[in-house]
Structure 1
Amino acid sequence: MGEPTESGPDAAAGRGRAALIEDGVEFDGRDAALLRAVDAAGSVAGAASALGRSRARALSRIESMESAFGTLVERRRGGTGGGGSRLSTAGRDLLDRYERLQAVVAASAQVPETVLGGTVTSVDGELAAVDTPVGRVRGLHDDAAVGDAVQVRIGADAVTVYKGDEKVDPNATSARNRRRGRVVGVDAGETVSTVRIGVDSVTFRALITAESAARLGLTEGEEVAIRWKATATRVVAHATESN
């Protein structure tokens, strides 16, 4: 089980993206929108309808979040006053925490990237698999084809750092890219710190809040695991440089 941490916005792609991570469960903008909709509609069904999602899928997502973050939505059965749902104190606190994180990372002027050179080995819909110096990496592509020389660009805001003994298979098929490495250094900021993680000959960068940096207690040379979503990874064709 990894330590809880926080990830910042996908600024490299021009979109604000913040995420809170607890026990491997991510709480991001879609989840915040779901909780806000429950608060506004007074029911999960009404929230799902407002967001264009199915009630079953909304309930399933709430249950997944509650497995990590605790009770977020209080359900009331029908009766003389009618049924419905409302946010718990923990749910409101989680929303407040997410909004504070989003404000912090949105204020960051620039988000560093890790850039890998590689060759496309397969394309499956919007995702491409690329052989890189750190193994096979998956990401969103723009008309890439098998055999193309590409850059794989990974925003530091998309990388999550975990401590523990989690086993990692770099070439396993997954919606997340996973690697193990060692902390090269931590560049502390007032509100956001940059962690540098060495994986083989490549240095990855991850943005975490000062709160998470203190909680993780990362030290130089310490072994850690990193993850980043394939959908937060950009594959850019016809690149020649890497780092």
Structure 2
Amino acid sequence: MGKGKIYMLPTPIGDTPVWDVLPQYNRTVIDRLEYFIVENTRSARRFLSRAGIQRPIDSLRFAELNEHSTPEAVAELLTPVLAGTDAGVISEAGLPGVADPGADLAALAHLRGVEVVPLVGPSSILLALMASGLNGQSFAFNGYLPVKQPERGRAIRHFEKRAQTERQSQIFIETPYRNLKLFEDFLKECNGNTLLTVAADILQPDQLIRTAQIRDWKAKTPDIHKRPAIFILGV
């Protein structure tokens, strides 16, 4: 028997109905898989239940892959695939492998000659960029900024300079309960004419997506406390 394939299975962002944002082709793939490598088993089971898969969820096999997984554990997850079993990789939200530990499995799959198949789904990073009005030709996703000063201040000024000199949009994420502190640090560290996009709860009924100069943001703090958010610096 030949090797199986790794299918990167997107999930909705927030509580958006599954088949409002995912193409029907994804359903045909999900329905025939029996082995799922997931960031969190409980969340993955909930997603599959909402998706209305045809087979009983209790008959499926789940294995967890998260930020604490060791290289040895990642290799073990791939063992059934090397023996011929297809696997679906499921993140907590959005795209597996993008700001997600699924990238470690995909990297190992390539080393072992296993085909990795990405399926279509929402990315909060690209959705925020799409709606921002900032440069979508040249951009960089930088993940999390340092939490503590003075490292955070230096990092913000560094990325602001890149945005200004290279006209490259600089994209960041933050833990939701620290959103307001990061927002305040952008206002403190950046020039008044620098553009900042704040995008929260994307695709939800109460989504917020706004781009404005730093000086204009100082007049009103957005309601982003404990809301999943994306921040983008640009010019």
TM-score by length of 1: 0.28
* Greater percentage in strand: 1
Name whichever structure is richer in helix by fraction.
2
Name the TM-score, length of structure 2 as normaliser. Answer: 0.29
